[in-house]
Amino acid sequence: MQRVLIDEQRILLTQAAPGMVLSRSVQLPNKTVLCPRETVLSDDLVLRLMARGIKRVHIRGTPLPGNHQLGFSGRRERLHEAFSRVRHLDHLATLEKVVEHVLVRRA
Amino acid sequence: MTQPLATIAARIMTLPTVTFARTLGKLDRLLQDGEIATPIIASVIASDPVLTAVILGRAAIVAPGEVTSVNNALVVLGTATVHGLVKNVRPLPEPCQQAVAGIWSLANATAAMCRILGTASPVLRDRHMPEETMHALGLTHDLGSMVGHLLFSGEMCRANARLVGEPRRTFASLLQEELGAPPALLGSLWAHHLNLPPLLVRSMHHQDNPLLAGEDTHGPMLVQLARNLVKGAGFAPAHDPYVDPFDAAIVEGLGLSLGDIQHGMERFFDEEEELALYEGALLFRP
């Protein structure tokens, strides 16, 4: 997966809103540029990109809050809290370990 | 004090269909354009639990079999009918937006996980369950929580407050005591009213105990496993942040190994970056 820069977000085009600024150009698979970076998105532009089959865009900054802003330790803490009431059941304790293992591997 | 089930059902029948104004505006523009491909329109609808339920329910009236995919529903109904249905959906009231955004985020994460685990499950592969159906199962499974926030917010708040001090209880059991119905029942009552296909209604109704779903337990089992895994992965709504206890037979019944689940989690986290932004996108104000 392409690594996302710290001052940008990769979002689905269905999440795009007018006023967001492209941090990377939008290209077709054949590398034809549809929109250069720094373009300010408008409703019309989003619709036209959708019509061309574009699914994702990179936008400047982090205007949409989400789980990605939690660090690894924050996510692991939340995982432990979520499983705290079912950990006494062996199969659910195992599932918690599986999720934690994946989190650790990706950290 | 609990309410009689008949009273709860009657109130649910008066519930207007509501969702985020931003989604409605976007769909209105897409449907007005006339040149936008149907799969693009379907992808926007298929990220919204209420719109998906309304459209699948309407398609079930005119189609001979069960319609459990938004793409199929769009073909059955035609974009003009869908545009009419979208125009009848009202914007979500401001005070509910934060809570419902959290529920929509869980719904989309569960839908993604249902698709990932469902395609890995040899049992579901043998049953030829389409990916879009798995997505719809996960997306619509928690409509009951939205019904709760819109119609029974006091009871939802009391159940949530008790959850903190009663660690052996689940949110569903506490809402049952406060209101007289858990989210699963609220959702399935509304789903009946919207005429959703039986497969989706069963999965909603039996999400707390899929093994009671009779002959067809696989849909509810898939939903329960996917929902609890994504809650553990950080997509739990504020009113119900804990993983619920469920039977070990659920994982076995789907024929999934721990390796399958680990691989599924990897795939889920690959998609998660975008899912994590879903809630923020709904509440985004430029």
Whole-number percent of chain B with pLDDT over 90? 75
- pLDDT given for residue B33 in this prediction: 83
Of B43, B243, B272, the CB nearest to A86: B243
| CA–CA dist A35, A45 (Å, integer) | 9
Nearest C-alpha of chain A: how many angstroms from B239?
A: 12
In a domain, A65, yes or no: no
- pLDDT given for residue B280 in this prediction: 66
In a domain, A41, yes or no: yes
Contact list, B104 vs chain A (CB under 8 Å)? none
* Top-confidence residue, A64 or B222: B222
The segments of chain A whose pLDDT lies below 50 read: 1-2
Residues A53 and A76 in one domain: no
In a domain, A74, yes or no: yes
Residues A54 and A12 in one domain: yes
Question: Is B216 touching A (CB cutoff 8 A)?
Answer: no
Is the distance from CB of B184 to CB of B205 less than 8 angstroms? yes
* CB burial of residue B165 (10 Å; 0-12, 13-18, 19+): exposed
In a domain, A43, yes or no: yes
Q: Which of B228, B247, B265 best tests the A interface by mutation, with the highest count of A CBs <10 A? A: B265
In a domain, A3, yes or no: no
Most confident of A24-33, B152-161, B270-279: B152-161
Scanning B180-257, the segments in alpha helix (DSSP H) are: 183-194, 198-205, 218-230, 249-253
Question: Mean pLDDT lowest for which of A76-85, B5-14, B18-27?
Answer: B18-27
Chain-chain contact of A102 with B235 (C-beta, under 8 angstroms): no
Nearest C-alpha of chain A: how many angstroms from B82?
A: 18
Is the distance from CB of B89 to CB of B50 less than 8 angstroms? yes
Residue span of the structural domain in which A84 resides: 70-106
Question: Is A7 touching B (CB cutoff 8 A)?
Answer: no
Q: Which of B273, B279, B285 best tests the A interface by mutation, with the highest count of A CBs <10 A? A: B273
Bridge partners for A26 per DSSP: A35
Residue B42: pLDDT band with limits 50, 70, 90: very high
pLDDT surpassing 80 at residue B200 = yes
Contact list, B44 vs chain A (CB under 8 Å)? 14
Nearest C-alpha of chain A: how many angstroms from B145?
A: 18
In a domain, A33, yes or no: yes
Q: Which of B274, B279, B283 best tests the A interface by mutation, with the highest count of A CBs <10 A? A: B274
Residue B272: pLDDT band with limits 50, 70, 90: confident
- pLDDT given for residue B206 in this prediction: 94
Contact list, A102 vs chain B (CB under 8 Å)? 262, 265-266, 269
Question: Is A107 touching B (CB cutoff 8 A)?
Answer: no
Ramachandran assignment for B121, one of left (phi > 0), alpha (psi -120 to 50 degrees), beta (any other): beta
The average pLDDT across B142-149 equals: 96
CATH label of the domain that carries residue A54: 3.90.105.10
Is the distance from CB of B237 to CB of B102 less than 8 angstroms? yes
Question: Is A98 touching B (CB cutoff 8 A)?
Answer: yes
pLDDT surpassing 70 at residue B36 = yes
Mean pLDDT of chain B: 92
* Top-confidence residue, B173 or B95: B173
Scanning A1-89, the segments in alpha helix (DSSP H) are: 43-51, 72-83
In a domain, A2, yes or no: no
Nearest C-alpha of chain B: how many angstroms from A31?
A: 22
Residues A15 and A36 in one domain: yes
Bridge partners for A11 per DSSP: A57
In a domain, A88, yes or no: yes
Is the distance from CB of A45 to CB of A39 less than 8 angstroms? yes
The average pLDDT across B157-170 equals: 94
- pLDDT given for residue B270 in this prediction: 84
Residues A55 and A75 in one domain: no
Residues A16 and A54 in one domain: yes
Question: Is A95 touching B (CB cutoff 8 A)?
Answer: yes
**Residue whose structure tokens are 């934060």:** B98
| Domains, chain B, with CATH or none | 5-11+94-283 (1.10.3210.10), 17-91 (no CATH)
Strands B18-19 and A56-60: unpaired
Question: Is B164 touching A (CB cutoff 8 A)?
Answer: no
Chain-chain contact of B234 with A12 (C-beta, under 8 angstroms): no
Of A12, A81, A84, the CB nearest to B274: A12
Residues A12 and A55 in one domain: yes
What's the alpha-carbon Rg for chain B, to the nearest Å? 18
Is the distance from CB of B152 to CB of B220 less than 8 angstroms? no
Of A64, A65, A83, the CB nearest to B232: A83
DSSP state of B231: I
Residues A12 and A53 in one domain: yes
Bridge partners for A8 per DSSP: A60
- pLDDT given for residue B214 in this prediction: 83
Closest CA to B116 of B263, B251, B275, B259: B263
Residues A41 and A80 in one domain: no
Contact list, A14 vs chain B (CB under 8 Å)? 26, 43-44, 47, 281
Strands A33-35 and B90-91: unpaired
Residues A55 and A97 in one domain: no
E strand or H helix that includes residue B102? helix B97-120
pLDDT surpassing 90 at residue B210 = yes
State the pTM of this model. 0.89
- pLDDT given for residue B274 in this prediction: 66
Closest CA to B70 of B142, B127, B130, B128: B130
Residues A45 and A78 in one domain: no
Residues A83 and A48 in one domain: no
Number of domains in chain A: 2
Residues A12 and A56 in one domain: yes
Strands, E assignment, chain B: 18-19, 90-91
| CA–CA dist B77, B61 (Å, integer) | 10
- pLDDT given for residue A102 in this prediction: 93
ipTM: 0.89
- pLDDT given for residue A1 in this prediction: 44
Of A1, A63, A82, the CB nearest to B243: A82
Chain-chain contact of B281 with A64 (C-beta, under 8 angstroms): yes
The average pLDDT across B15-36 equals: 89
Q: What is the pLDDT of residues B84-124, one digit of tens each?
A: 999 999 999 988 888 898 899 899 999 999 999 999 999 99
Torsion of CA A93, B219, B230, B184, to 10 degrees: -100
Q: Which residue on chain B is closest to A91 by alpha carbon?
A: B248
Q: What is the pLDDT of residues B236-256, one digit of tens each?
A: 998 999 999 999 999 999 999
For chain A, the straight-line distance linking the first and the last C-alpha, in angstroms and rounded, comes to 15
